[in-house]
Amino acid sequence: MIQILVRETMIEIAGKDKARIEMIPVAVFSDHSELLQYCEKKGFQKNGNGLESEFYREMDLRQMKEQVRSYFKIEQPFKLHERFVIFEQELK
């Protein structure tokens, strides 16, 4: 069994629901404690317990926001949300 730390980026456009625009694997671990050590070393803030944990980081998303605005041609106000989630996969 491996655990995959995945970065999920979501967009929230004024008056609309949140939508996922990106989901990228960041790191793979064979042990949950290694994953927690990695996140702690990176300065991520933890929310939740065990495999239900989510991690956040303090980061200025302005540059990414401008790239998203340009790529999707968005004119109305919007917010970007980033979180790191854990996926578990069994190896055969």
- Which pLDDT belongs to residue 72? 87
In single-letter form, the type of residue at position 73 comes to K
pLDDT, tens digit (0-9, with 9 covering 90-100), for 1-17: 899 999 999 999 988 88
Q: SS3 string of the chain?
A: CEEEEEEEEEEEECCCCEEEEEEEEEEEECCHHHHHHHHHHHCCEEECCHHHCEEECCCCCHHHHHHHHHHHCCCCCEEEEEEEEEEEECCC
- The model's pTM: 0.83
Residue 15: give the domain boundaries: 2-89
Q: What percent of the chain has pLDDT over 70?
A: 100
Total domains present in the chain: 1
